């Protein structure tokens, strides 16, 4: 290895150590921290972030990158070091464009925004949140101004979550998806609704937890390199390839959510556990984008975890564990119940068929916010209109409408699409997997997930951040992200369930 590359890796290793240390502090904050520890923790996180940022944007890193870009010019796409330099140089360029005073200002505005949002949501009063949102959007405009003009200003935001993805791409994908998904939901609405009362009985938390642990153990989540804890919001976080943790929560009125959130987060975690060990302490470690990450979590949660073969394997055990709750509930009834489609107000509780529409609604509003074609004060009204248009329902208040999501409160705009894109990618990969593993259903029916995980490891996980999302999907499936496989998946699944 050249001396320059060695030195760059040394510096990036330190930056990674600082960022990962911050992740440990963040995890602890969610999982363990006593209530009054927040202020001190906030200072520690701010210091780690600042030092990591200073180290990363140092002139030495810039000089090394310039030299190494030349050294690796013309290297093959498969060259790890070349990829590392490319990804690092992109991150460096972004980081250099954003002044540290701006980062500090944004952090303050985000904190204020979050506070205002909590209060506004509590009182279900959008006007409390409006001034903070205004400030956050102003900062986004400023943020965009640091970058060269793109085809669309929203591109700059999107690129932070989905490197290389354009607003026009996402719009085109969603335009192809929307009518088909709306049509499907209409057809389902005209059918006889399935039963799911058995899902809303009282379930023992500990037993559900244990059941989820058993499932993800069979999935292949490596407990010697991870752990699960309780937290107010389920999430996955990684401190290094050998320490990838997940959290879950128990919802008394929706107990099975504990299980599905465990499967979801384990999907994220297995992605991170599969990143190539040689990428450790470099920007290639971990998942390549939020959409690809979400494709993994949604696959293990939905395409596997809400499938008939899965429950052919696991339902007998579940039924034995919860014999009174599931008394008289056949496998088929259970399967239909956990796949019930129902237009609903809240995104995070939405089923597979309606979920993406929640995302599209948000994308349209975000684009309007960034373009300036939408007056922020009109957001609640526009939100409710779109809810009527897509779902035929009107939120009874802002808390269950425009105020439901946390993201905008801290200036996170451009994030939502990745959820829907993740769904699409999960189905796109799934079609390819089923071509490669012809008896996948049968394997799942036997509770055998090793070939599936092995496929994902080899095709997706091991590459870490090496390939951009669109390139990775193209490489694996032969085309960029496309909605058709997901439409086919939904149509087939729900035609059976609802007898369409």
Residues lying near a second copy in the complex (CB under 8 A) are found at 13-14, 17-18, 20-22, 24-25, 28, 32-37, 39-41, 43-44, 46-48, 51, 223-227, 229, 239-243, 245, 280-281
Strand partners, 246: 228, 236
Three-point CA angle 295, 286, 1, nearest 5°: 140
Quick one: 44 or 474, whose CB is closer to a second copy? 44
Least distance in Å: CB of 41 to a second copy?
A: 7
Name, in order, each residue with C-beta under 8 angstroms of 350's C-beta and a sequence gap of 6 or more.
344, 358
Q: How far apart are CA 218 and CA 236, in angstroms?
A: 18
Least distance in Å: CB of 337 to a second copy?
A: 35
Summary count for the chain: helices (H), strands (E): 20, 3
Least distance in Å: CB of 247 to a second copy?
A: 12
Per the annotation, the verdict on 265 as an active-site residue is: yes
Quick one: 46 or 108, whose CB is closer to a second copy? 46
Least distance in Å: CB of 114 to a second copy?
A: 20
Q: How far apart are CA 296 and CA 294, in angstroms?
A: 5
1-12: string of b/e by CB count within 10 Å (b at 16+)? eeeebeebbebb
The number of CA neighbours under 13 Å toward the Cβ of 228 is 28
Radius of gyration of the chain (CA): 23
Least distance in Å: CB of 205 to a second copy?
A: 17
Quick one: 80 or 280, whose CB is closer to a second copy? 280
- List own/partner pairs for 31-36 with CB under 8 A and 24 or more apart: 31/229, 31/230, 31/231, 31/247
Catalytic site residue from 162, 236, 265, 272: 265
Quick one: 36 or 70, whose CB is closer to a second copy? 36
Whole-angstrom CA distances from 61 to 2, 203, 436, 477 are 15, 54, 43, 36
Quick one: 22 or 185, whose CB is closer to a second copy? 22
Q: How many CB atoms lie within 10 A of CB 344?
A: 16
Quick one: 17 or 80, whose CB is closer to a second copy? 17
Give catalytic residues, as residue numbers: 265
């Amino acid at each position: 290895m050249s001396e320059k590359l060695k030195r760059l890796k040394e510096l990036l290793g330190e930056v990674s150590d600082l960022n990962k240390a911050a992740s440990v502090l963040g995890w602890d904050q969610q999982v363990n921290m006593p209530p009054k520890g927040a202020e001190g923790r906030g200072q520690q996180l701010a210091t780690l972030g600042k030092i990591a940022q200073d180290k990363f944007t140092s002139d030495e890193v810039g000089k090394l990158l310039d030299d190494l870009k030349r050294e690796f010019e013309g290297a093959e796409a498969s060259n790890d070091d070349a990829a590392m330099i490319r990804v690092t140089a992109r991150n460096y360029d972004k980081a250099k464009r954003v002044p540290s005073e701006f980062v500090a200002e944004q952090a303050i505005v985000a904190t204020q925004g979050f506070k205002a949002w909590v209060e506004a949501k509590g009182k279900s009063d959008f006007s409390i949140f409006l001034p903070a949102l205004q400030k956050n959007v102003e900062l986004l405009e400023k943020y965009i101004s640091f970058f060269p003009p793109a085809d669309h200003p929203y591109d700059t935001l999107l690129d932070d979550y989905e490197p290389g993805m354009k607003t026009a791409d996402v719009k085109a994908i969603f335009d192809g998806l929307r009518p088909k998904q709306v049509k499907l939901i209409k057809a389902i609405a005209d059918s006889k609704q399935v039963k799911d009362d058995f899902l809303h009985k009282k379930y023992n938390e500990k037993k559900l937890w244990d059941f989820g642990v058993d499932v993800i153990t069979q999935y292949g989540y490596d407990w010697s390199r991870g752990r699960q804890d309780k937290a107010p919001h389920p999430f996955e976080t990684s401190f290094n390839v050998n320490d990838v943790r997940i959290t879950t929560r128990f919802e008394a009125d929706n107990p099975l959510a504990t299980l599905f959130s465990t499967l979801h987060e384990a999907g994220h975690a297995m992605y991170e556990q599969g990143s190539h060990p040689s990428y450790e302490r470099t920007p290639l470690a971990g998942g390549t984008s939020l959409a690809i990450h979400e494709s993994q979590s949604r696959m293990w949660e939905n395409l596997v975890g809400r499938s008939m073969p899965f429950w052919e394997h696991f339902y007998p055990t579940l039924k034995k564990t919860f014999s009174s709750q599931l008394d008289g509930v056949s496998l088929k009834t259970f399967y239909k119940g956990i796949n019930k489609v129902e237009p609903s107000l809240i995104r995070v509780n939405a089923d597979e068929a309606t979920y993406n529409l929640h995302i599209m609604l948000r994308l349209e509003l975000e684009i309007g916010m960034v373009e300036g074609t939408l007056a922020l004060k009109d957001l609640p009204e526009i939100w409710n209109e779109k809810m009527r248009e897509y779902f035929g329902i009107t939120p009874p208040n802002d808390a269950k409408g425009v105020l439901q999501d946390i993201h905008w409160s801290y200036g996170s705009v451009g994030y939502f699409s990745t959820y829907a894109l993740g769904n699409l990618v999960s189905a796109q990969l799934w079609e390819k997997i089923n071509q490669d593993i012809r008896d996948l259903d049968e394997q799942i029916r036997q509770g055998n997930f090793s070939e599936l995980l092995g496929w994902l490891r080899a095709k997706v996980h091991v590459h870490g951040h090496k390939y951009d999302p669109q390139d990775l999907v193209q490489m694996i499936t032969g085309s960029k992200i496309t909605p058709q496989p997901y439409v086919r998946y939904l149509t087939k699944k729900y035609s059976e369930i609802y007898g369409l």
